[in-house]
Structure formats: structure tokens, C-alpha cells
Amino acid sequence: MEKLTAKEEEVMQVLWKLERAYVKDMLPYFDNPPLHYNTVSTIIRNLEEKGYVGHRAYGNTHEYYAIIEKEDYQNRFVLKRVVADYFDNSYKNLVSYFAQNEKISADELREILAMIDKQK
């Protein structure tokens, strides 16, 4: 699995949300800036070559679906990158940031601790 470009990630986000889609179904999700049909089609084909997307053909029309789960990609690239780039490779620093900036409550932290305890 290789890291995707920003546009590839954007297309994958839409595909993960829709689960299965034709290129025309994805276009309304790209409004800032709008992406042309051919652009999305090219990105989808690149994602297919990279092993992220599969398709089912209906004549000349293709219905696309994600092969790689969103969580797998997030765990491998997104979360690691954020923790490395912004929190000195420390998940403790990440959680501390959210606690200090009141983005997570004490009750939510207790729930997280309970989940950790269950996994032991």
C-alpha cells in the first residue's frame, strides 16, 4: 500500500462514503473546486492501478468500489503522519492536546481507558 496524493485521498474519501459509485455519482462531492468528469475518471483509474479501487463493468460503464478499507489507510498513513508531524511521535501528546483544548471530556477519557483495560 502506497501513500496517496491529496486528490487521490479526496476521491477515496468520496468512494468510502458512497461505497459503490459511478464517476458521475461522485462529481457532486467535488465542489471546491469542482472536478471535471475526465479528471475524476483518471484519478479512479490510477487508484485502481495502485490496488485501492476495483470495478464492475456494465458494458462501457464502470461501477467503482474501494478495495482498501478507510480504517486501514488511516492507520497506516493519516494517523501516523499527524502524530509524527504534530505530536513528536507521541500518542500521549495527541490525547493531551485534545484534553487541554477541551476537545475531549473526562468522561470520554474514562471510556477510552475502559476500552484499553478490556483489551488487556
Q: With CA atoms as reference, report the closest residue to 47 among 80, 2, 77.
A: 2
CA–CA distance, 77 with 4 (Å, rounded to integer) = 9
Q: With CA atoms as reference, report the closest residue to 97 among 86, 84, 111, 113.
A: 86
pTM: 0.72
Q: Where are the domains positioned within the chain? A: 6-66, 90-119
pLDDT tens digits along 40-83: 999 999 999 999 999 999 999 999 999 999 998 988 888 888 88
Q: What is the CATH number of domain 6-66?
A: 1.10.10.10
Query: Would you say residue 1 has pLDDT above 80?
Result: no
Question: Residue 9: pLDDT band by 50, 70, 90 thresholds?
Answer: very high
